[in-house]
């Protein structure tokens, strides 16, 4: 879609473009253009402490702004997470005092999500890095990301309630880590796909040995797949969510074979019906020390969203034009 479209006749042109093909957009590649600070760029560089994903050329323009913790698109839900460079920074930022999140450079552990991290999958050499090397038993690190209109190329995510939404992304999980030899590997990472009401449609993830799994509900056992994620390269995931039929499918990209493989067939019922797709829930377990501090990397998120119904097309077009006009104004 032409992101420079604006002025007279723009609505007509936009309607034609939307009618021709589904809208395609990036969640982001987690670069400065996507609204993410370079790795360790400031004392407040953790995604829940600034307007991550809400500034830069691809996300509305503007500049980095420190915000009240968890008031932006990224929210920390667990006591574990949101690291600071040192205890002084932590105390200054969270002026209300303790209890602080369980993570600080002063304590020698790390639990955080950072954008602008290296290495990237593509030429920009940046990604989203998740880390939780707190001691075993400390607890999981849990964040939620609220999908916004820039991710859906101008469409309001809660308003997309029918048709098929596709999500594609790539990840590099770092070396496998089995803290209890002789036992089956336990969970390592879980990504949950949620709607604006809090319903979970399904979950995808991998265990501490990087075995790729999926399930419909958090109370279900994990379903095994044939894949062990590459610890030093970028495998991929593609989810197709049919909001009209309340079904989904999952495909997996195996970098070693350079091929996509279906792991959940089309037409599989969702764990809970989704009204829309508006939230991604990220959960990384504790005690991850392997490789570079147990960091798990994600990159190149893409959404493909359905064409709006004719009655909503004009409103979607107006919304997209406003977003695009603001972006253009921010660039000038």
Task: Spell out the per-residue pLDDT of the chain, length 332, in tens.
Answer: 323 333 333 333 333 333 334 544 456 799 999 999 886 555 557 898 889 999 999 898 999 888 888 899 999 998 888 876 556 666 666 665 555 555 544 445 678 899 998 889 988 889 999 999 888 888 899 999 999 999 998 899 999 999 999 999 999 998 888 777 777 779 999 999 999 999 999 999 999 999 999 999 999 999 999 999 999 999 999 999 999 999 999 999 999 999 999 999 999 999 999 999 999 999 999 988 887 778 999 999 999 998 766 544 555 555 555 554 444 444 44
- Do residues 127 and 296 lie in contact, with contact meaning Cβ atoms separated by under 8 Å? no
- The pLDDT score that the predictor gives to residue 16 is 36
- Do residues 133 and 105 lie in contact, with contact meaning Cβ atoms separated by under 8 Å? no
Pairing mode, if any, of strands 187-194 and 279-284? antiparallel
- Do residues 170 and 299 lie in contact, with contact meaning Cβ atoms separated by under 8 Å? yes
The CATH code of domain 23-306 reads 2.60.120.200
Query: Token pair of 326, please?
Result: 């603001």
Question: Distance (Å, rounded) from C-alpha 115 to C-alpha 242?
Answer: 30
Residue 308 DSSP symbol: P
Element (H, E) at 251: strand 247-254
Q: Cα 284 to chain center, whole Å?
A: 13
Phi/psi for 318 (5° steps) reads -65, -45
Q: How many angstroms separate the Cα of 74 from the Cα of each of 47, 80, 114, 160, 276?
A: 6, 14, 11, 21, 19
Query: Token pair of 163, please?
Result: 């048709």
Residue 148 in 3-state DSSP? coil
The number of beta carbons lying within 10 Å of the beta carbon of residue 319 is 16
- The pLDDT score that the predictor gives to residue 329 is 47
Question: Distance (Å, rounded) from C-alpha 245 to C-alpha 242?
Answer: 6
Query: The tokens 């998740």 sit on which residue?
Result: 130
Phi/psi for 112 (5° steps) reads -165, 170
CA within 13 Å, CB half, 237: 27
Residue 161 DSSP symbol: -
Instruction: Give, rounded to a whole angstrom, the gap between the first and last alpha carbons of the chain.
Output: 20
Q: How many angstroms separate the Cα of 116 from the Cα of each of 37, 40, 123, 172?
A: 6, 8, 13, 15
Question: Distance (Å, rounded) from C-alpha 252 to C-alpha 261?
Answer: 5
Q: Cα 314 to chain center, whole Å?
A: 29
Q: Could you tell me which residues come within 8 angstroms of residue 6 by beta carbon, excluding any fewer than 6 positions away?
A: 321, 324, 325, 328
Query: In whole angstroms, how large is the CA radius of gyration of the chain?
Result: 20
> Which residues share a beta bridge with 144?
75, 281
């Amino acid at each position: 879609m032409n992101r420079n479209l604006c002025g007279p006749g723009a609505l007509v042109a936009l309607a034609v473009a939307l009618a021709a093909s589904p809208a395609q957009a990036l969640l982001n590649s987690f670069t400065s253009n996507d609204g993410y600070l370079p790795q360790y760029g400031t004392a407040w560089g953790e995604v829940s402490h600034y307007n991550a994903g809400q500034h830069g050329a691809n996300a509305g323009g503007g500049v980095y702004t420190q915000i009240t913790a968890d008031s932006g698109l990224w929210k920390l839900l667990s006591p574990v997470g949101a690291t600071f460079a040192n205890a002084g920074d932590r105390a200054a930022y969270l002026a209300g005092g303790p209890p602080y999140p369980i993570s600080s450079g002063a304590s020698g552990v790390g639990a955080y999500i950072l954008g602008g991290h290296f290495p990237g999958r593509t030429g920009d050499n940046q990604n989203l890095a998740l880390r939780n090397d707190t001691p075993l038993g400390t607890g999981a690190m849990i964040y939620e990301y609220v999908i916004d209109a820039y991710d859906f190329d101008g469409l309001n995510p809660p308003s997309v309630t029918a048709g098929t939404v596709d999500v594609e992304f790539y990840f590099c999980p770092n070396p496998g880590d089995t803290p209890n030899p002789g036992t089956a590997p336990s969970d390592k990472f879980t990504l949950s796909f949620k709607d604006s009401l809090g319903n979970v449609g399904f979950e995808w993830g991998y265990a501490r040995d990087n075995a790729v799994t999926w399930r419909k509900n958090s109370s279900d056992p994990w379903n095994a797949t044939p894949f062990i994620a590459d610890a030093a390269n970028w495998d991929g995931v593609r989810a197709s969510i049919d909001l009209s039929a309340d079904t989904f499918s999952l495909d997996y990209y195996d970098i070693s074979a350079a091929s996509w493989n279906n792991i959940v067939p089309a037409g599989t019922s969702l764990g809970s019906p989704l009204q829309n797709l508006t939230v991604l829930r990220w959960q990384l377990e504790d005690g991850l020390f392997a490789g570079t501090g147990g960091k798990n990397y994600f990159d190149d998120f893409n959404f493909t969203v359905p064409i709006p119904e004719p009655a909503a097309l004009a409103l979607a077009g107006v919304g997209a034009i406003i977003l695009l006009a603001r972006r253009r104004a921010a660039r000038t």
